[in-house]
Amino acid sequence: MNEIPSFLYHKLRNQYGEEWTKKIIDGYQSRYTTFRINRLKTTVEKIENILKDNNFLFEKVSWNPDAFLLLDKKEEDLKKLSIYQNGEIYIQSFSSMIPVLFLNPNGQESILDMAAAPGGKTTQISSLTADKALITACEKSATRLERLKYNIEKQGARRITVLKEDARYLDDFFSFDKILLDAPCSGSGTIDRNNPKLFSYFTETLIQKSSKVQRELLEKAIHLLKPGGTMIYSTCSILEEENEKVLEEFVKKNMVSIEPIELPDIPTLPTKLEGTLLVCPTNRFEGFFVAKLKKRG
């Protein structure tokens, strides 16, 4: 199993067992190019026609009418089309689209995106609410903040307030109807086992640091969420240290409750926290954890 770091292999085997670990490692590969439409600028029908006119073979999925998968073309081919260049579409992994669907935003709500860059989920919220939701997007990195601003402008979203801020230190004066916490993580669900840099960047220290930040962000999110409000906690990790174990302590303290979620027609892994969704990495999906939480009180 020298395709992935040995410590990761043992973590996966201890968490999932031998059979599931083999499936996960098989799924650690390059993936099809997927994208979603931007409803602020286009329609599904228009994009379908343009793809056909340019001889792109594609598939749709049952769980998201806005999503497309390219069967015979790559990302660089898609970027040559005007629909990409003018922001009618946004290249985004299937798994990354899932959290916002369960957030179920509407135009009457104030919504916080706690770790927003590069802006895929932020602009997805805007697209789904016809640019009517009042969105606050936080990003602490100056470089990533510029990318976030660029994507927001390109997508034509107008009601997004961008803050150069580590969301852990937001003033408790703020209060939101809904919060998306797509937390920084190790990326253990997005690994490509053929990446020559894998062994240098993916470390146990990375997992430990991620877990610490995730707990701090989640605690802050609970403070900022209105009583009875909805929060989505998600990561592109499949390790329990960054997912179930982060949530458990807040559930046990009765600060939040889990709202059960499920999604048809996607590959899933067993999760240790009932009602949460854990996507298995494949050539179509990144490994991804999603939990829908409701604030007590």
Encoded tokens for 115: 């770790």
Q: Which of 6, 99, 15 is nearest to 270 (CA)?
A: 15
**CB-based contact 162:139 (threshold 8 Å):** yes
Q: How far apart are CA 19 and CA 33, in angstroms?
A: 27
Active-site annotation, residues: 236
Q: How far apart are CA 131 and CA 159, in angstroms?
A: 6
Angle at 297 between CA 183 and CA 292, to 5 degrees: 35
- DSSP letter assigned to residue 61: E
Instruction: Please report where in the chains the tokens 């790559």 appear, as a residue.
Output: 74
Which residues, including other chains, have CB under 8 Å from residue 264's CB and lie 6 or more apart? 62, 63
**CB-based contact 141:119 (threshold 8 Å):** no
Instruction: Please report where in the chains the tokens 């600060």 appear, as a residue.
Output: 255
Encoded tokens for 70: 């390219």
**CB-based contact 152:119 (threshold 8 Å):** yes
Cross-strand partners of 258: 293
Amino acid at 72: D
Relative to beta strand 58-61, strand 64-70 is antiparallel
